[in-house]
Amino acid sequence: FRIKINEAAPLRARYEVPDVLIKEPTTQRLSVSQKEAGILVLTSVNKDYTLQVTANPFQVELHSKGETVLSMNSNGLLYFEHLQPPPSDRYSTCLSHHLEKQEDLGLWQEKFGSFLDFKAHGPSSVGVDFSLHGFDHVYGIPQHAESLLLKNTSDGDAYRLYNLDIFGHKIHEKIGIYGSVPLLLAHKPNRTSGIFWLNSSETLVDINTKAVAEVRQRAVPLTDVRWMSESGIIDVFLLMGPTAFDIFKQFAQLTGTQALPPLFSLGYHQCRWNYEDEQDVKAVDAGFDEHDIPYDVIWLDIEHTDGKRYFTWDKKKFQNPKRMQELLRKKKRKLVVIVDPHIKVDPMYALYSQGKDKGYFVKDRNGQDFEGICWPGSSCYLDFTNPEVRKWYADQFAFKTYKGSTNILFVWNDMNEPSVFKGAELTMQKDAVHYKNWEHRELHNLYGFYQQMATAEGLIKRSSGKERPFVLTRSFFAGSQKYGAVWTGDNTAEWGYLKISIPMLLTISLAGISFCGADVGGFIGDPEPELLVRWYQAGAYQPFFRGHSNMESKRREPWLFGEKNTQIIREAIRERYVLLPYLYTLFYRAHTVAEPVMRPLWVEFPGKLETFGVENEYMLGNALLVHPVTDKEAKAVSVLLPGSEEVRIIQSCSAHTSVLYGNLPAPHLIIIPVFQRGGTVIPLKTTAGKSTEWMIDVSYELHVALDTEARAIGELYLDDGHSFQYLHKKQFLYRKFTFHKNILSSSQKIADNGRKNLLFFRINVNRGMETCLGNFQDETNTLHVRKWTIPHHMCS
């Protein structure tokens, strides 16, 4: 249900968020089932829901089969500040109005330290409250360095959605950091509901959970959620589920699904601020081969450019960038370079001079190009809200324009909150002016969304629409999943940041952005070896896997911490590469049916109350339960194994039936607690290679974990890993595997073609301590399994 409230006749148009919805949703006329003085009752087409609108006091209630699910304005907190003329137009110079004028002026200009925010159109805030009936567990509204379960804010700060560059942000704070997705989910055992507040201005979310009057001799919980935005309109979607997976699909129908990433981007990425020069890149690349550690991408930060001028190269340090990329290509690896939104003020810099001549920069309130301070010094900021600017910017990635680039070069958008070193809260002033004269305050949270959109379009355009892009962004909004990946920003090399990264990534995943990760090892500071090892083990089972560090941190390539630690890190990264067929299949499902790759336990076990607040373990797809070790010198972890299925530890193959909490031994630094859920089949590679491209011809392995009825099902998706042929020519392979009555069968999941080569699998069937190893040729479609026993020490 969409509820949209605007002024009937405003002095000027109010901002309505464009470009986030993939299309204007189709509407259905509701039938009037009751109409009386001041009350209107409407019924949905399928009669599952009724909507009651009360005029005075204004209130909306949603009912499902007689149960109140959600109500709007039940606490009477709806407000909508009408646009009004400035004080000078409303008041005469009469002395009697002087005091009133001075008070009113505070609504038209506001001071932040030394910064003055002129509100050219005056106050225009909006807000309303929602009551979620029967719910006391709510999630979502990233990005905050906070717990998975949203906290009661009645005695403290509200959650803030305002994209900011906060270097070394603190944990367990509700201040907004790099990205904002105004989507909140509420869950109880029999229902999941959602609220999508489509507003890109600064927004606060207040949450108050309480028990209400008893119903049938039991206290029923109630959660009130109040949304408040600085400007814009009220445009809210009430997502009715009733399951979490329904919510994910409903949100994707509005904002789009996760872009299917190129396969290489699911491998390991090696980054640092900064790899010094071509020789440094060559040496680091060789180090991975020397130590037999797989990796796919090496990254270059701002120092690779000519004086922080993006789309250029430092001519002394990177004299022949094409040759450097060709050497990487021969190794079947890729390069990612940083491209930030600020443009150095330099008339000799083509990007600046062209942008200035065309009027493509954000303006200040006086109509001049807005100038702020960032890495290059004085900088102007491209106005990505203008479609003409986005088209021009996309053209900058053409090989003939971006000298020294090749088709193995991909892009990292950083500092795009946008970051302004001398600005209120280190960002752009709210009274800056964008395309169509909209103030920055209206669309602040969209700025990074638009840069990533333009960058992704540029990478697609340079390949004439044939190749999938890879773009990582720090700032994001609802719908950013359509354009690439995000990460949690500038974290710190401390155990608390490793621990908080899990709920942060789960929250981002719930908000539709599956391709997310956290800097392995922590960006700021120097991790102790144990912390670095544990972080690699955690990152290996998360969607985006990148090691990254600050320029003031000591070098930390994986082989610099002694042979023992190198061996453990090597094994963690190799496990990631072996897992890629399963992970790629999960991303295909995220792309096609909006299922999160990484998901909280309650999504898979919606009726298990004990899972609702769990944030130290998670499901990777529906088959793997991952519990990273996030405590120093841990010798054991307490693992929740929900459900009735039998599960097993991947590494030791010992069986664990359903338990509430069990202590799992975690020998120092060796074990990654990963469990396979009974009743599932996961596809793996039989061995890791130097990079994803080295593994194309490596055979596959199916791990079959049986449920209590000796059944299991799973899937495998394959395509060429880099092009759009899967979409345009339907060139892919998508198989479903079923194990039943000791027969493993393979069938076509949906129509596929274009891959005629046979696939050969090694099969590992596991139930408890019993295992069968066999071979399976896809063309034959069936494998008969009769008796299976194997010594425990041989278990794969």
CA distance 707 to 647: 8
Cα–Cα distances in angstroms (integers) from residue 733 to residues 284, 290, 688, 749, 755, in the given order: 36, 35, 21, 9, 6
Tokens 């990946």 correspond to 485
Q: Which residues are catalytic?
A: 414, 417, 490
Are the C-beta atoms of residues 298 and 691 closer than 8 Å to each other?
no
Q: Which amino acid is present at 437?
A: N
**Tokens for 217?**
């001799």
Please state, in angstroms and rounded to a whole number, the distance separating the CA atoms of residues 222 and 233: 26
The answer to whether 187 and 139 have CB atoms below 8 angstroms apart is: yes
Task: Return the amino acid letter for 291.
Answer: H
**Count, residues in the chain:** 796
Of 663, 646, 664, give the one whose Cα is nearest residue 655: 646
The total of other beta-carbon atoms located within 10 Å of residue 139's CB is 27
Phi-psi domain of 26 (left: phi exceeds 0; alpha: psi -120 through 50; beta: other): beta
Yes or no: say if 52 and 60 are a contact pair by the CB < 8 Å rule: yes
Residue pair 390/460 in contact (Cβ under 8 Å)? The answer is: no
Confirm if 183 and 141 have CB atoms less than 8 A apart. Answer: yes
Residue type, 757: N
Nearest-5° Cα angle at 421, 438 to 345: 75
- How far from 793 is each of 304, 475, 651, 652, 773, CA to CA, in Å? 50, 48, 11, 9, 14
Within 673-781, strands assigned E span 674-677, 680-685, 700-705, 712-718, 733-740, 743-748, 760-767, 770-777
